[in-house]
Structure 1
Amino acid sequence: MGSGHYIWAIFFFASLCSASLANNAKINFREKEKKVLDQILGAGKYDARIRPSGINGTENAPTLVYVNMFLRSISKIDDYKMEYSVQLTFREQWTDERLKFDDIQGRLKYLTLTEANRVWMPDLFFSNEKEGHFHNIIMPNVYIRIFPNGSVLYSIRISLTLACPMNLKLYPLDRQICSLRMASYGWTTNDLVFLWKEGDPVQVVKNLHLPRFTLEKFLTDYCNSKTNTGEYSCLKVDLLFKREFSYYLIQIYIPCCMLVIVSWVSFWLDQGAVPARVSLGVTTLLTMATQTSGINASLPPVSYTKAIDVWTGVCLTFVFGALLEFALVNYASRSDIHKENLKKKRRDLEQASLDAASDLLDTDSNATFAMPLVRHPGDPMALEKLRQCEVHMQPPKRPNCCKTWLSKFPTRSKRIDVISRITFPLVFALFNLVYWSTYLFREEEDE
């Protein structure tokens, strides 16, 4: 038993010694990191104002900076202001041979800094930026890693509001391309060149949710610009957004169709129901005008005609046409009444003349008249018989189905209502066919 306790005591003492040595090694390791930082960034040893040398330490070659980014979210795409907001993690990587250090046989993988002003930084800026800010909660979301071979990795999280010029001719059946442009502000391509990092330079968060758009794809490209002061390196990302049409179908297209169909109810009301038909036409017209103004309030005042303008304009025309149709029916109804009154007066006069003639025949019943055996050419009865013969000799005309059907409605006002019941829906259906085929095919061509 005594020897066993002795062995366990030796084992416990050895464990304590090894833990103490490990802690001392860690402490010495952290001290080594401090010495390395003081060695490469100490006073008089490194000047952050001087750019690094080019490839393989060439002094005259430009510094190459490789860029990649991670799109965290796209919060909004504003049609009226023509801008969009994005939050991203932005990374730059370049080589500065002045920052090489000993990695202690692979144990020191990299050094981490949180102060960007300690080393040289590229003067990159976002050329189409409107607003932007860094994230400082809880600590500034930025770090710099220095690797043993002198490679520097700079990473920062930023939020930007960027300009996005839009073409709204196909709105809301459109696709928009919004760009993210990055360029050097002061260094020309002779001194600094930005390059996309090879192999997936842009990453997008999974399940990216946008309320009214879908991110279809993105493309990376170069956009170097030449000015009076030289040529500057530039990178860009083109984000292709497709507008979600279901929202506009429910909020705009279906309500407009319903308003147009409600305006057609006036054709089925009685011609004498003037208050009902007028109030129905005016109400639908005002509602359609309010709908149109609400749509235009959310869009910028552009100088060209949009697809939604064509739709709302035609729907407003149909509603206004239904109101004008009642005005025409009302005028035709009064004209029919006036003609009916004239016919009634004419019938009354004819009846009065017939009554007078019969009275005259009764008074002269004793008189005898010799009827001529041969009638003169100007005899009215002979002319009537001749006219009847000509009618029987003419070939029979084919019956016109439209005229036969319209003859069932004796008044012009009723005929106008009946024709409108058929014409308005047919023309509106034809317009829908032309509208959707035109803009949907044009959308496919633009792809």
Structure 2
Amino acid sequence: MAGAMWPGALPLLLLLAVLLHPSRCTQGGKVNFREKEKQVLDNILGPGRYDARIRPSGENGTDGPTNVKVNIFLRSISKIDDYNMEYSVQLTFREQWLDERLRFNDFGGRLKYLTLTEASRVWMPDLFFSNEKEGHFHNIIMPNVYIRIFPNGSVLYSIRISLTLSCPMNLKLYPLDRQICSLRMASYGWTTNDLVFLWKEGDPVQVVKNLHLPRFTLEKFLTDYCNSKTNTGEYSCLKVDLLFKREFSYYLIQIYIPCCMLVIVSWVSFWLDQSAVPARVSLGVTTLLTMATQTSGINASLPPVSYTKAIDVWTGVCLTFVFGALLEFALVNYASRSDMHSDNIKKQFPPSDQMEHSSSIDPSSELLEPDGSANFAMKPLVRHPEDSMSMDKLQQCEIHMQPRKKNCCRSWLSKFPTRSKRIDVISRIFFPIVFAFFNLTYWSTYLFREEEGDE
């Protein structure tokens, strides 16, 4: 019986196998709609149907300007160059506009959008980056660009590009400064009567999370419009202002602390003996040359601007302190030789001999003139009362003035008999106090000016 039923059951089984085959299900589902995509593209972009040279109409099919909404995604910021005043950025750039000529049937929502990779097949806005120095597209593995056409005729253009952009900087507060670098996008040929760029509503600029910069921090960004008028008309323009704050810790470790150490090392000369001429000279010259080398190295990484920067004030004052310490030793050396000369004179004419010489002179000889004639001083025999009163007042003033003449500084300096030693002692106190006052003035001034700039 099984063998008799087999010839009739075979066609039925084959029919069921064909109907239940996966390829049959696929053909009834999506394969046909992929074929529909081709038909739609041929229908809207076929020869004689669409002209990419003509811009889309305005809103509601009017002759107004075409509105193009723009948004960008900042992928990375590789460097910010102070010397060339430029910065490099990699971003995903997106434009979206409405072209009613590209409307198509979505077959009940089955076709969400059509994807193109050739931008020349549809009309494109002639946007360019006005502050661009260099730029290139990314073509690995395929060109990083796509165009999506939606059923209502909306077109989305997305591309990944890398740009090197100009960033004019004000370095007066360097390295305590903040810099604003702009990204400007404008129309090259279409005026505002034909083309208008608008920022996309709601988060027009997006920044990748954990954006890392070696010497800066991206504090915030602002979007704005920058339309420009020329002899040929007014052109639509968009801009993004990126506010970068310079990281100060790098400069504190590499510049400020080493300069402070060099200044303090130059003060060691004040504590060395006056007779250690080679040690004091070599110390002063070495610190001076090291400070000069440090200053030249700092200026080599910055552009030759015409104004004074904050770092110039710091290095200039530190260089002055080191140079002053070297000059101080020259003054000490000169004073020590003067002290030696005065000591030699005292040895030739000791004070005891002078006292004996003066005591051997007859007091009555004071009354004799050089020619031997007598000279008697005429003194009044009777004093007037006014004279006695004035003498008493003078003695009282002298009594009151004597305690005021005592000075703690003078009494402390009197412990050091030579002038050269006194100069060293005064320098040990004077140089640190002045340098501390300079630090207080410097940091309060530039930090306060930085806060004013933020406001």
TM over 0.5: yes
1:311 to 310, 314, 327: 314
* Superposed counterparts of 1:57-96, under 5 Å: 57-58=61-62, 60-96=63-99
Aligned partner of 1:107 in structure 2 is 110
* Superposed counterparts of 1:417-432, under 5 Å: 417-432=424-439
SS at match of 2:403: coil
Q: Rate the CA distance shift 1:348–1:436 in 2: closer, same or farther, 3 A.
A: closer
Aligned partner of 1:39 in structure 2 is 43
Aligned partner of 1:439 in structure 2 is 446
SS at match of 1:394: helix
Output one character per residue of 1:326-348: Cα deviation in whole Å (capped at 9) or x when no partner: 00000000011111111221228
* Superposed counterparts of 1:197-236, under 5 Å: 197-236=200-239
Cα-Cα RMSD: 2.6
Q: Count the aligned residue pairs.
A: 417
Distance in 2 (alpha carbons) for counterparts of 1:84 and 1:393: 77
SS at match of 1:46: coil
Aligned partner of 1:28 in structure 2 is 32
Output one character per residue of 1:198-242: Cα deviation in whole Å (capped at 9) or x when no partner: 000000000000000000000000000000000000000000000
Output one character per residue of 1:59-95: Cα deviation in whole Å (capped at 9) or x when no partner: x200000000100000000000000000000000000
Q: For residue 261 of structure 1, report the CA deviation from its aligned partner.
A: 0.1
Q: For residue 124 of structure 1, report the CA deviation from its aligned partner.
A: 0.1
The residue type paired with residue 428 of structure 2 is R
Q: TM-score, normalised by structure 1?
A: 0.89
1:245 to 233, 244, 248: 248
* Superposed counterparts of 1:7-406, under 5 Å: 13=17, 16-17=20-21, 19-58=23-62, 60-347=63-350, 350=353, 354=357, 394-395=398-399, 396-398=402-404, 399-406=406-413
The residue type paired with residue 426 of structure 1 is I
SS at match of 1:139: coil
Could you tell which deviates more after superposition, 390-399 or 233-242? 390-399
The residue type paired with residue 285 of structure 1 is L
The residue type paired with residue 336 of structure 2 is S
Distance in 2 (alpha carbons) for counterparts of 1:15 and 1:168: 77
Q: Rate the CA distance shift 1:354–1:143 in 2: closer, same or farther, 3 A.
A: same
Q: TM-score, normalised by structure 2?
A: 0.87
The residue type paired with residue 234 of structure 1 is C
- Return 5+ residue gaps in structure 2 as ranges: 362-375, 380-391
**1:415 aligned to 2:429?**
no
Q: Rate the CA distance shift 1:103–1:401 in 2: closer, same or farther, 3 A.
A: same
**2:18–2:24: 8 Å Cα contact kept in structure 1?**
no
- Return 5+ residue gaps in structure 1 as ranges: 359-375, 380-388
The residue type paired with residue 38 of structure 2 is K
The residue type paired with residue 189 of structure 2 is G
The residue type paired with residue 182 of structure 2 is S
Distance in 2 (alpha carbons) for counterparts of 1:177 and 1:189: 27
Distance in 1 (alpha carbons) for counterparts of 2:430 and 2:151: 82
Distance in 2 (alpha carbons) for counterparts of 1:219 and 1:267: 55
Identical residues among aligned pairs (%): 81
Distance in 1 (alpha carbons) for counterparts of 2:318 and 2:296: 13
The residue type paired with residue 409 of structure 1 is F
**2:216–2:244: 8 Å Cα contact kept in structure 1?**
yes
Q: For residue 10 of structure 1, report the CA deviation from its aligned partner.
A: 9.3
